Amino acid sequence: MSATFTPVTTQLAAYIESLFSAEDAFLQSLLRQAEAAGMPPIHISGAQGAILQVMLRAIGARRVLEIGSLGGYSAIIMARALPPEGKVVCFEINPTYCAFIQRQAEQAGLSNVIEVRCGNALNLLDTLPEEPLFDAVFIDADKPNYVHYLERCYPRVRQGGLIIADNTLAWGHIAEPEPTFEPANVRALQEYNRRVATHPGLCAALIPAGDGMTVAVKL
């Protein structure tokens, strides 16, 4: 048995990205348009996208909820891993971003799969019907609300479904007891990881891809 841990160097990350990336020419074009539209370059990596696609296909996902969709990069990646009648419901608070995602979904031929709902995700979750359940939720929005998203999403995910969150390495600061870089966000992510790790109804792991993805399956 080995407890060896291999830190992901820039070279290793480039290697992983070169072989296992969900990014194609369409998504590269989306990123250029997102940059031109003034969106921050804080989308997930192509390698994280590949992990999302593997996980969604592994559980046979049909219905996915994304909280915080930015330019639709991860939504399109997830939509591509679903059957044609699948749904990715995107909660996005910025109306300009919502219009951008809608356009991209149409150009990707995924306007039947991607459903954009513009608004505050906590409010949208509170007005969401209890059925049908989601197969997976991807949380990638404001960090202080991650624990609230977790609480509200848990009852809306089927048994065997996934709750996945981005940025759970907190830009490299997750292990610091007294964070000074973006302390409110880092502490919120620490609390999120602690809750997921100790939740009796979840089995969880942290995948050190990109800025970290905490993945939990509902028991």
Q: Which two tokens stand for residue 190?
A: 């620490």
Nearer to ligand DHB, 42 or 184 (CB): 42
Query: Distance between CA atoms of 163 and 149, rounded to whole angstroms?
Result: 10
User: Which whole-number Å values give the CA distances from 19 to 11, 13, 53, 163, 199, in the listed order?
Assistant: 13, 10, 14, 26, 34
Task: Determine the residue with CB nearest ligand DHB.
Answer: 42
Scan residues 131-190 and list those touching Mg ion (CB under 5 A). 140, 166-167
**Residue 30 near residue 76 (C-beta atoms within 8 A):** yes
Is residue 115 within 8 Å of 101, Cβ to Cβ?
Answer: no
Nearest alpha-carbon partner for 88 in 138, 47, 46, 148: 138
Strand partners, 117: 91
Q: Judged by CB, which is closer to Mg ion: 23, or 140?
A: 140
Q: How many residues lie near ligand DHB (CB under 6 A)?
A: 5
| Contact positions with ligand DHB (CB under 6 A) in 98-157 | 140
Single out the residue of 167, 168, 190, 214 in contact with ligand DHB (rule: CB under 6 A).
Answer: 167
> Is 184 among the residues that bind ligand DHB (CB under 6 A)?
no
Q: Which is nearer to Mg ion, 94 or 111 (CB)?
A: 94
- From the CB of 42, what's the least distance to ligand DHB, in Å? 4
Q: Using CB distances below 5 to 8 A depending on partner kind, what does residue 190 bind out of ligand DHB, Mg ion, none?
A: none
The alpha carbon of residue 16 and the mean position of all alpha carbons in its chain are separated, in whole angstroms, by: 19
Selected binder of ligand DHB within 211, 215, 216, 218 (CB under 6 A): 211
Number of residues binding to Mg ion, judged by CB under 5 A: 3
The minimum distance between CB 211 and Mg ion, in angstroms, equals 6
Separation of alpha carbons 101 and 130, rounded Å:
25
Tokens standing for residue 142: 């404001």
Q: Which two tokens stand for residue 104?
A: 């991209």
Q: Which residues pair with 202 in a beta bridge?
A: 218
The interface with ligand DHB within residues 17-56 (CB under 6 A) comprises 42
Query: Where does this chain bind Mg ion (CB under 5 A)?
Result: 140, 166-167
Query: Where does this chain bind ligand DHB (CB under 6 A)?
Result: 42, 140, 166-167, 211
